[in-house]
Amino acid sequence: MEIKEENIINIHHYLPHREPMLMADYILELTKEKVVTSFEVLESNIFVHNNHLAEAGLIENAAQTCSSILGQSFFKSDSETKVIGFITSIKKIEVFGLPKVGDTIISRASLISQFENICHIFCETFTGDELLIRTEINLFIQEIQHELDP
């Protein structure tokens, strides 16, 4: 997939993650049912070992990609929204390869089902035409309510 600057969506509007745990650089496409993200593997990444992004980094990238689908309902404006989210289960996972430092990976996720703040999502991640990981993930995301001053 060609990355066109005019189509890039700021990932910070849809995920609470920040460095060093931010594992997606850009949203390339986003609807209520699917998302496509890109991520450049840098040598300084906490999940890089022996010049490759480890399996845990691929899983975190997939989870963050998937959470963008559900996260878009929480991040509608530039206001400071605080959310908590986590993987509730990984239903299926297949790892076929690991990207190298300098590779840009593209992750494509599709919503399978959703019940309130819990969703079941299918995701595949590629470098070029090479499939790296295929997974089905269940995620939970909830807004953290701000405490009122006494």
- Tell me, yes or no, whether 128 lies in a domain: yes
Identify whether the C-beta of residue 23 lies closer than 8 Å to the C-beta of residue 37.
Answer: no
Q: Output the six-digit token pair for 28.
A: 């390339």
Considering 24-28, 46-50, 114-118, the range whose residues carry the highest mean pLDDT is: 46-50
Cα–Cα distances (Å) from 63 to 9, 37, 91, 93, 119, in that order, read 18, 11, 12, 12, 11
Give kind and range of the element (H or E) at residue 60.
Answer: helix 55-71
Q: Once rounded to an integer, what is the mean pLDDT over residues 5-18?
A: 56
- 147 pLDDT band, cuts 50/70/90, is low
Overall number of domains in the chain: 1
Rounded Cα gap, residues 150 and 145, in angstroms: 15
Domain containing 78 — which CATH number? Answer: 3.10.129.10
Domain-located, residue 119: yes
CA–CA gap between residue 127 and residue 63 (Å, rounded): 17
* Nearest Cα residue to 66 out of 142, 127, 140: 140
Global pTM reads 0.81
In this prediction, residue 77 carries a pLDDT of 53
Per-residue tokens: 53: 């992004």
Tell me if 148 is assigned to some domain. no
- Expressed as residue numbers, the domain containing 139 is 5-143
Tokens of 47: 């999940």
Tens-place pLDDT, residues 32-75 = 899 999 999 999 999 999 999 999 999 999 988 888 877 666 65
Q: Is 149 part of any domain?
A: no
